[in-house]
């Protein structure tokens, strides 16, 4: 059965590779035109998607895709100021700027009278950042709006990007009418050209969206149809396909940007659940337990879903100066993010254990013991990784900032997370906590990870790790916390009924 599943995975992998090679061999359109933007050479399609999403919050506008919208903007920049495509969602900001509360999209001309107020809020935010204080949500949104306005001004001036020169020795020229773009691409070498083709393909196949869908399908087949013979190998096949798409997306970002894919919140999320699935595969083989794959698929699907729901930048951008070290990105950041993957897997296994305990589905004491030991081993792995990563981060901090440790919020919460899980390990080793308590700790402990990973950057918003700061998305984190609280309440109520 498993050999058949592996052969099916191999066939799908071969098909995927063939598809990628075929797609990369096809001729390129205007959307693949090489341009220079934000410090690197990229296809126009990539620039259009990221720019339109930044301004309007989506990759299409007025029933037009990003390529068409930005090409029209390049061809007729004078009309751009009248487009109502600047998205403003915060009611407080609209009220402060005197804008209509009924609308969410505004034009550049609509915002001209509010320019001084926007600039004042942006300066206030910058002053607070410099004083290591957190700006208000109004000020953060004003900074975003100011950046959107600056982007539109660059579009109207024609200076937002440059196109490949028409002849050797000429400089890269400002955008302008796409009809006048040169077809000669001599200034882009073969490797750059292949990377641009790969970038266009990356956006077209949407590997992470496909992997999220396949993870959920695999979970359903492995859990809800586990007593049937046929769905189990199918679930393994779908899980294998999800991992393939996931890995393909990560490798594509690595090749396009020539660095590890862990430089921002989005990349850390997609790498975290990739590490989670790698650990799930390893422990599934060691323990011979397919349920580990189901638990990993479920969490990976949700992490991938959250990565696209949260208002975080998913663009392919160059690194800020402090992160421009592939060496430290590889050994420090990837180690820390991998620990999040291990803790995420432990959290999922903790839910799985508690559900089985509540509904009394363990066949015997040995099976229950093995389930608890599995959680314990995964927690041990995560603790080793976060401890190692924290020490390596101190070494990098000494190189970048001249000190090993400074009680920066990110450093402090990483230490709190490490010590929290270390306490659980010691209590388990001394037999001071039961199997159920261990599973409960694996669920609650992930709250520490969430604070270290997301909370420091998006809730506290201060410290030397300011290159990772952001705003918004708290409602989605609150939804997760509410669901988690509801699960724990349900577990307590159910356990009390059973004990009676």
pLDDT digits (tens, 9 = 90+) for 400-415: 777 788 788 888 899 9
- Whether 442 maps to a domain, the answer reads yes
Closest to 111 in 3D by CA, of 62, 103, 311: 103
Cα four-point dihedral sign 93, 98, 101, 103: negative
Residue range(s) defining the domain that contains residue 95: 31-190
- Co-location of 399 and 450 in the same domain: yes
pTM of the model: 0.85
Residues comprising the chain, all counted:
500
Q: What is the pLDDT of residue 29?
A: 60
Q: How many domains does the chain have?
A: 2
Domain boundary (190, 219, 247) is at: 190
- Co-location of 296 and 224 in the same domain: yes
- Whether 14 maps to a domain, the answer reads no
C-alpha separations of 244 from 154, 252, 282, 370 in Å:
39, 12, 16, 29
> In the beta sheet, which residues pair with residue 40?
37
Q: What is the pLDDT of residue 319?
A: 66
CA distance 33 to 181: 8
Report residues of the chain scoring pLDDT below 50.
Answer: 1-2, 6, 10, 17-18, 21, 24-27, 468-469
CA distance 372 to 424: 13
- Whether 57 maps to a domain, the answer reads yes
C-alpha separations of 362 from 350, 373, 437 in Å:
14, 14, 17
- Whether 281 maps to a domain, the answer reads yes
- Co-location of 304 and 416 in the same domain: yes
- Whether 18 maps to a domain, the answer reads no
- Whether 1 maps to a domain, the answer reads no
Q: Calculate helix-pair angle for 231-257, 207-223, nearest 10 degrees.
A: 160
Domain boundary (190, 220, 242) is at: 190
Q: CB-side exposure of 4: number of CA atoms within 13 Å?
A: 8
- Co-location of 156 and 256 in the same domain: no
CA distance 199 to 20: 12
CA distance 135 to 461: 8
Cβ neighbours, 10 Å, residue 201: 19
Q: What is the pLDDT of residue 100?
A: 92
Q: What is the pLDDT of residue 361?
A: 84
- Co-location of 136 and 168 in the same domain: yes
Q: What is the pLDDT of residue 34?
A: 82
- Co-location of 202 and 137 in the same domain: no
């Amino acid at each position: 059965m498993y050999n058949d599943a592996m052969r099916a995975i191999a066939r799908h992998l071969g098909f995927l590779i063939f598809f990628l090679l075929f797609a990369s061999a096809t001729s390129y359109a205007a959307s693949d035109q090489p341009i220079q933007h934000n410090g690197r050479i990229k296809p126009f399609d990539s620039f259009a998607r990221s720019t339109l999403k930044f301004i309007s919050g989506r990759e299409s506008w007025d029933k037009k895709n990003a390529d068409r919208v930005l090409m029209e903007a390049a061809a007729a920049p004078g009309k751009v100021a009248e487009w109502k495509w600047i998205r403003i969602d915060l009611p407080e900001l609209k009220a402060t700027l005197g804008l209509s509360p009924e609308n969410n999209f505004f034009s550049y001309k609509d915002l001209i009278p509010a320019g001084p107020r926007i600039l004042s809020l942006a300066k206030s935010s910058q002053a607070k950042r410099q004083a290591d204080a957190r700006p208000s949500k109004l000020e953060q949104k004003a900074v975003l709006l100011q950046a959107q306005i600056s982007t539109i001004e660059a579009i109207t001036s024609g200076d937002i990007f440059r196109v490949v020169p028409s002849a050797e020795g000429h400089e890269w020229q400002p955008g302008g009418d796409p009809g006048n773009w040169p077809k000669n691409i001599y200034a882009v070498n073969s490797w750059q050209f292949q990377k641009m083709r790969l970038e266009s393909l990356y956006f077209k196949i949407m590997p992470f969206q496909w992997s999220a869908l396949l993870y959920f399908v695999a979970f359903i087949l492995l859990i809800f149809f586990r007593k049937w013979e046929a769905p189990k190998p199918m679930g393994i096949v779908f899980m294998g396909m999800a991992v393939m798409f996931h890995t393909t997306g990560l490798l594509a970002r690595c090749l396009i940007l020539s660095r590890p894919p862990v430089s921002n919140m989005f990349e850390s999320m997609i790498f975290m659940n990739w590490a989670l699935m790698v650990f799930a595969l390893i422990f599934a083989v060691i323990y011979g337990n397919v349920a580990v794959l189901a638990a990993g698929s479920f969490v990976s699907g949700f992490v991938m879903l959250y990565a696209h729901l949260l208002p975080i930048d998913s663009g392919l951008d160059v690194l800020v100066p402090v992160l421009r070290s592939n060496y430290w990105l590889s050994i420090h950041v990837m180690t820390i993010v991998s620990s999040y993957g291990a803790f995420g897997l432990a959290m999922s296994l903790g839910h799985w254990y508690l559900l089985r305990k509540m509904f009394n589905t363990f066949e015997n004491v040995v099976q229950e013991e093995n389930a608890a030991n599995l959680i314990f081993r995964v927690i041990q792995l995560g603790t080793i990784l976060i401890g190692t990563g924290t020490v390596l981060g101190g070494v990098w901090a000494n190189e970048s900032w001249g000190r090993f440790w400074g009680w920066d919020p990110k450093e402090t919460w990483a230490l709190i997370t490490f010590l929290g899980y270390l306490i659980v390990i010691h209590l388990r080793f001394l037999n001071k906590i039961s199997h159920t308590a261990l599973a409960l700790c694996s669920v609650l402990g992930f709250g520490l990870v969430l604070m270290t990973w997301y909370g420091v950057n998006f809730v506290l918003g201060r410290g030397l790790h300011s290159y990772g700061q952001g705003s918004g998305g708290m409602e989605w984190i609150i939804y997760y916390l509410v669901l988690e609280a509801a699960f724990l309440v349900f577990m307590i109520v159910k356990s009390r009924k059973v004990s009676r």
